[in-house]
Amino acid sequence: MSLKHLIVGLLTLLALSGCATSSHVLTGEARAPIDPDEVMVYRNAPADYQEIARLKATSKFSWSLTEKDKINKAIERMKMEAAALGANGVLLQYTEEQITGSVGTGAGGVDGNVGIGVGMSWPMVNIGAGGIAIYVPPAQENE
């Protein structure tokens, strides 16, 4: 296998795996897509809104290192999903830590008939978030 084929395969795998970082279940009527920058995040429900979909997203496959950056990445992905459905708001319901595996390393040596090994492992933690994609009528957006 050539290096070119290996790189193309890895890029394809990354592209396909990135698709699994957010999802939705339609519970209302979708609208025309909007710019994700126009999507507001609400911690409390506005007085008047229409539910469009239930959303889930994670920080998985991002380069985020801190918990704050991982939360922001999951919320950013929910905003993108909401915008694609024409929702101008996301009603944030929860964020949670998700342990998705671990990274380990080890070393060992042999001296005669005696073998000694040492290993360490670090958990890979992502942040998951869930919310509701909503449409807030223009008169309610700034309240």
| Cα distance between residue 139 and residue 22, in whole Å | 29
CA torsion 89-93-97-100 (nearest 10°) is -70
Q: What is the pLDDT of residue 112?
A: 73
Q: What is the pLDDT of residue 140?
A: 53
**Which run of H or of E encompasses 101?**
strand 89-111
**In one letter, which amino acid is 48?**
D
pLDDT of the chain, 143 residues: tens digit per residue:
566 555 655 555 444 444 457 788 888 899 999 999 999 999 999 999 999 999 988 777 667 677 788 888 889 999 999 999 999 999 999 877 666 666 667 777 777 777 777 777 766 667 788 999 999 998 755 55
Secondary structure letter of residue 17 according to DSSP:
H
Three-state DSSP at 83 gives helix
Q: What is the pLDDT of residue 131?
A: 94
- The DSSP code sequence of 18-63 is HGGGEEEEE-S-------GGG-EEESS--SS-EEEEEEEEE-TTS-
- pTM beyond cutoff 0.75: no
CATH number of the structural domain 21-140: 3.30.110.70
Q: What is the pLDDT of residue 17?
A: 47
